[in-house]
């Protein structure tokens, strides 16, 4: 019998070590696995490399993980957003490294990492500071830059519903990076608002097949960054 | 003194040039205004790079979903026929040349079509690029919508960009408060002037030579 359920967010993230590379799903607050991130803060792992599109807002979720001093490096496409102050302050103080990646290149690097593609060439970024130091080749008459596949030790994502085999469906634009990140880590952890028995989901409608998922945590009423910030929340 | 088109009028002018049925990505900020001025009878499908095709306007107060947002992280709605997808698929649409048009803002545009729109390169700036480099590299046509000069009166249309580039030779056409300008192999070519704006007025506010299309030449 396959059952990927674990009892709690704390149990799900318990073995993430210092120095781990962690992919975290979400675009803004949509799809941000707040409960898993907060469990990671409680757990205490440090010197993490975080791969995520943004850096969080307010003093909760991703921003709280950064503020707790647990992150040494961020790989990301858009580290500043309205309401995002923690990352900018740490970056200006030289306390966190940034690898800036065009958003499509970030998505494709993660997809490639998960698909066993070591690297690829793309025209995105050619002639810009983000291509400096990278190999450039002319392919079909067009300059392209070499970008490497990206993998991580752990992935934390949020689904709307998952089954006991780890199959996942998402909610609207909360899907964003989750399907690629699920495929690109040694251990993928999903928090889902609903968890059902295998066989209850329509196989035609599953977005992330369970082969990419290792642990499923039931988080019935996930918190949202905007609601927490509106309430003036600060984690921990 | 208000000379030339307002932001809304620039958006309205630009919207006239988008064919019915186009798949369009509107950049965050001023380009979003374009959606308000699509001529009657035309249907455009809006792409937002965080994973939705068929984006609709903002929801009514209290009707929004925090996980139904656009690339600017603001709540939106979905039109009939919409589809959700992941980031790799979304950028396959962009990078694979499937989108018809991208409308972007600009810090600078050069006479050869180089675009700078993501960073001033200042030491204390937090660099952030999002999908801009992917859009200019992959979308079939790239329109820039911008004021002709900065707040301090510096030209945004220049011989060569001094800010970090978003892409090389990627801009097709520029819509400003003063004019509509094509990027051609011969540099900037003015195709239309805003009402009451003279050729000299535009030239004084542009940092590179201008040529004039046949119809404008006839008016001189």
Instruction: State the Cα–Cα distance between residues A186 and B110, nearest whole angstrom.
Output: 45
Percent of chain B at pLDDT > 70 equals: 98
CB-closest option in A80, A106, A177 to B126: A80
Name beta bridge partners: A128: none
CA distance A13 to A148: 27
State the SS3 of A11-69: HHHCCCCCCCEEEECCECCECCCHHHHHHHHHHCCCCEEEECCCCCCCECHHHHHHHCC
CA distance A126 to A132: 9
Cis peptide bond N-terminal to A125, omega within 30: no
pLDDT tens digits, one per residue of A165-202:
999 999 999 999 999 999 999 999 999 999 999 999 99
Residues in chain B within 8 Å Cβ distance of A158: none
pLDDT of residue A80: 87
B121-A110-A177 Cα angle (round to 5): 85
* This prediction's pTM: 0.97
Q: How far is B203 from chain A (nearest CA, A)?
A: 28
Q: What is the pLDDT of residue B220?
A: 56
Q: Are strands B23-26 and B101-104 parallel, antiparallel or unpaired?
A: parallel
Using 50, 70 and 90 to split pLDDT, how confident is the model at B125?
confident
CA distance A78 to chain B (A): 4
A159-184 CB burial, b ≥16 within 10 A, e <16? bbbbbbbbbbbbbbbbbbbbbbbbbb
The H or E element that residue A187 is part of is: strand A185-196
Mean pLDDT of B117-124: 88
B71 vs B96, B113, B167, B179, CA distance in Å? 19, 24, 20, 28
Identify the helix (H) or strand (E) that includes residue B83: strand B77-84
* CA–CA gap between residue B95 and residue B131 (Å, rounded): 10
Q: Specify the length of chain B in residues.
A: 220
Angle (CA) B18 B69 A154, round 5° = 125
What pLDDT shows up at residue B2?
72
Alpha-carbon distance B191 to nearest alpha carbon in chain A (angstroms): 29
For chain B, the average pLDDT equals 95
Task: Give the residue among A205, A209, A161, A203 at the shortest CA–CA distance from A188.
Answer: A209
**Is residue B185 pLDDT above 90, yes or no?**
yes
In this complex, do B128 and A80 lie within 8 Å of one another by their Cβ atoms?
yes
Q: How confident is the model at residue B109 (pLDDT cuts 50, 70, 90)?
A: very high
Region B121-139: mean pLDDT is 93
Asked whether the beta carbons of residue B67 and residue A79 sit closer than 8 angstroms, the reply is no
Is the pLDDT reported for residue B138 higher than 90? yes
| Degrees to nearest 5, angle at CA A155 with A153 and A157 | 175
Measured between beta carbons, the chain B residues lying within 8 angstroms of A130 are 129, 133
Which is nearest to B64 in space by CA: A173, A66, A125? A173
Q: What does the pLDDT read at residue A82? A: 80
Pairwise CB contact (< 8 Å): B91 & A104: yes
Asked if residue A169 lies in contact with residue A190, where contact means CB atoms within 8 angstroms, the answer is: no
Confidence band of B47 (pLDDT split at 50, 70, 90): very high
Pairwise CA distance, residues A193 & B54, whole Å: 26
Q: How far apart are CA A103 and CA B123, in angstroms?
A: 22
Mean pLDDT of A198-221: 98
A107 min Cα distance to partner chain B (Å): 5
Q: Which CATH architecture has domain B7-219?
A: 3-Layer(aba) Sandwich (3.40)
Q: A226 and B66: CB-CB below 8 Å? A: yes
Beta strands at A168-169 and B45-48: parallel, antiparallel or unpaired: unpaired
User: pLDDT confidence of B214, banded at 50, 70, 90?
Assistant: confident
Decide: A86 and A65 in contact? Cβ < 8 Å. no
| pLDDT tens string B51-85 | 999 999 999 999 999 999 999 999 999 999 999 99
The model's confidence at residue B188, banded by pLDDT at 50, 70 and 90, is very high
Percent of chain B whose pLDDT exceeds 90: 90
- Other C-beta atoms closer than 10 Å to the C-beta of B71 total 26
pLDDT at B217: 74
Tell me the catalytic residues of B: 49
Alpha carbons B167 and A189: distance in angstroms, whole number: 37
CA angle A194, A195, A197 (to 5 degrees): 140
Q: How would residue B216 be classed by pLDDT, with cut points 50, 70 and 90? A: confident
Residue range A5-119+150-227, CATH number:
3.40.1080.10
**pLDDT at residue number B219:** 63
Q: Cβ B87–A81 below 8 Å, yes or no?
A: no
Residue A193 confidence (pLDDT): 98
CA distance B84 to A175: 8
Using DSSP, state whether B131 is helix, strand or coil.
coil
| Strand arrangement of the beta sheet that strand B108-110 belongs to | B115-116, B108-110, B157-158
Interface subset of B 91-130, CB within 8 angstroms of A: 91, 94-95, 114, 119, 124, 126-130
Q: Specify whether the CB–CB gap between A169 and A160 falls below 8 A.
A: yes
What residues have CB less than 8 Å from B134, skipping those under 6 apart?
A102, A103, A104, A105, A124, B49, B91, B94, B95
3-state helix, strand, coil in chain A (%, to 5): 30, 30, 40
Look at residue B122 in the predicted model and tell me its pLDDT.
Answer: 87
pLDDT at B141 > cutoff 90: yes
For A69-122, the pLDDT digits (tens) are 999 999 999 998 888 899 999 999 999 999 999 999 999 999 999 999 999 999
- B interface mutation test: which of A104, A140, A224, A229 has the most B CBs within 10 A? A104
A27 close to B74: Cβ distance less than 8 angstroms: no
């Amino acid at each position: 019998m396959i059952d990927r359920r674990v009892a709690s967010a704390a149990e799900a993230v318990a073995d993430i070590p210092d120095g781990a590379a962690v992919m975290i799903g979400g675009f803004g607050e949509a799809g941000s696995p707040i409960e898993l991130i907060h469990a990671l803060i409680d757990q205490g792992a440090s010197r993490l490399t975080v791969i995520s599109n943004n850096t969080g807002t307010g003093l909760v979720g991703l921003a709280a993980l950064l503020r707790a001093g647990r992150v040494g490096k961020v790989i990301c496409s858009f580290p500043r957003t309205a309401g995002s102050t923690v990352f900018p302050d740490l970056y200006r103080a030289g306390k966190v490294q940034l690898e800036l990646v065009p958003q499509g290149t970030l998505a494709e690097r993660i997809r490639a990492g998960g698909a066993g593609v070591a690297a690829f060439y793309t025209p995105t970024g050619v002639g810009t500071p983000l291509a400096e130091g990278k190999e450039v080749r002319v392919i079909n008459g067009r300059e392209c830059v070499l970008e490497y596949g990206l993998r991580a030790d752990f992935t934390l994502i949020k689904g709307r519903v998952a089954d006991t085999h780890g199959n996942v469906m998402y909610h609207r634009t909360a899907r964003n990076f989750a399907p690629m990140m699920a495929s690109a880590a040694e251990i993928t952890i999903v928090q889902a608002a609903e968890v059902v028995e295998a066989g209850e989901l329509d196989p035609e409608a599953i977005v992330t097949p369970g082969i990419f998922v290792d642990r499923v945590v039931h988080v019935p009423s996930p918190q949202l960054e905007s609601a927490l910030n509106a309430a003036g929340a600060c984690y921990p | 003194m208000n000379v030339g088109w307002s932001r809304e009028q620039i958006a309205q002018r630009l919207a006239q040039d988008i064919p019915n049925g186009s798949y369009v990505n509107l950049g965050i900020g001023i380009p979003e205004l374009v959606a308000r001025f699509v001529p009657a009878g035309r249907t455009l499908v809006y792409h937002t790079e965080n994973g939705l095709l068929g984006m609709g306007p903002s929801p009514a107060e209290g009707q929004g979903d925090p996980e139904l947002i656009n690339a600017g992280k603001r709540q939106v709605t979905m039109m009939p026929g919409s589809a959700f997808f992941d980031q790799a698929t979304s950028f396959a649409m962009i990078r694979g040349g499937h989108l018809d048009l991208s409308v972007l803002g600009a810090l600078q545009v050069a006479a050869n079509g180089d675009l700078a729109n993501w960073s001033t390169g200042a030491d204390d700036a937090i660099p952030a690029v999002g999908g801009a480099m992917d859009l200019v590299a992959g979308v079939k046509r790239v329109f820039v919508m911008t004021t002709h000069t900065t707040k301090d009166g510096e030209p945004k249309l220049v011989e060569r960009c001094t800010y970090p580039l978003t892409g090389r030779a990627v801009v097709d056409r520029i819509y400003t408060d003063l004019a509509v300008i094509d990027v051609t192999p011969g540099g900037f070519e003015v195709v239309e002037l805003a009402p009451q704006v003279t050729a000299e007025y535009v030239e004084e506010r542009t940092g590179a030579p201008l040529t004039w299309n046949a119809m404008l030449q006839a008016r001189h």
